[in-house]
Amino acid sequence: MTDHRQLYGVYAAALTPLLPDFSPALNDIPPFLSFLAGRGCHGVLLMGTTGEGPSFTPADRLAVLRAALVVRQQNPDFRLLLGTGTPSLEETIQLTRLAFDLGADGVVVLPPYYFRKASDDGLFAWFGQVLSRAVPTGGALLGYHIPSLTGVPLSLDLLARLKDAYPDRFAGVKDSSADAEHARSLGQRFGADLQVFSGTDSLFSLALEAGAVGCITAMANLCSPDSRLVWEAFQGKATDASAPAKQARAQSRLSGTRAVMDRYPPNPPLYKAMLARLHPFAHWPVCPPLLPTPVDLVERALAELQAGGEALDR
């Protein structure tokens, strides 16, 4: 099992290849993940928001993880995280336990998003059941903080309680709040004691400065070379004197690209269309209630990116 301290760097919130009947296109998963590994990703989150995870059954999610394990034949250090959060406590526990049994390096768990008025005490009890019953000692569970979609924020006090109570299981948080002040607050409160992954490309450098260990983002499906450049420069791994300037340019491109992409929600259909236009992959469907991004909007987004110098095919 991967020690959760080895989870760091650039992760794609991976798209899920689908067949016309909306079932996972399992044969497409290994080459897609190999593509991401070759473009600087340390790993992926499977079946997260960008991967349309809540649209799929536990069996589908586990089938995607099994297919993804093939990537380790050529990329043994490539990390695999699985989104296992559901509104059902027992379903989340079973899915999380099976993810670790199959060989996942960690899980990313949404709060139970149906009850939006749940208290921190209630959320602590819920996550505590998942952590104690499904996560092995030394395993890594990341809470998924994305209140714009779930309506259920993970407060700093809740994160602290979980870390104190389950230090060998609760690894940290994927912060998709898109809130710069929240990113700073995580660093000020926890420092290196909590593994924070930024979910917002435009805030990646800021999050790293605040103590984040990496990012998990939709844009890493397309822009991971820039994300990796930012991460490498911040870690002091870049060897040339121009690294700070390159980091600044890469962060500027990430911010500019994110601003364009955010104008054409939701993420999965646009990113699938862009991937198919720019790289040798099929134009995979999205699962209802999502619908394909209209061609004219894809063209408009591409034109905006080109006008701003934010090329995605680097």
Q: How far apart are CA 92 and CA 112, in angstroms?
A: 9
Cα–Cα distance, 257 to 201 (Å, whole number): 9
Q: How far apart are CA 201 and CA 216, in angstroms?
A: 9
Q: Kindly list the distances between the CA atom of residue 33 and the CA atoms of 82, 101, 128, 208, in Å, as whole numbers in the listed order.
A: 14, 21, 32, 25
* Sole residue written with tokens 């060897």: 239
CA distance 11 to 84: 17
Instruction: Establish whether the linkage from the previous residue to 17 is cis, with ω within 30° of 0.
Output: no
Per DSSP bridges, beta strands 79-83 and 106-109 are: parallel
Q: How many helices (H) and strands (E) does the chain have?
A: 12, 8
Among all residues, which ones are annotated catalytic?
49, 114, 144, 174
Cβ contacts of 128 within 8 Å, gap of 6 or more: 162, 165, 166
Rounded Cα–Cα distance for residues 259 and 20 (Å): 30
The Cα–Cα gap between 208 and 215 comes to 9
Q: Where are any strands of DSSP class E within the chain?
A: 9-13, 43-46, 79-83, 106-109, 141-145, 170-175, 195-198, 214-217
Buried b (16+ CB within 10 A) or exposed e, 266-301: bbbbbbbbbbeeeeebeebbbbeebebbeeeebeeb
| Token code pair at residue 132 | 């104690």
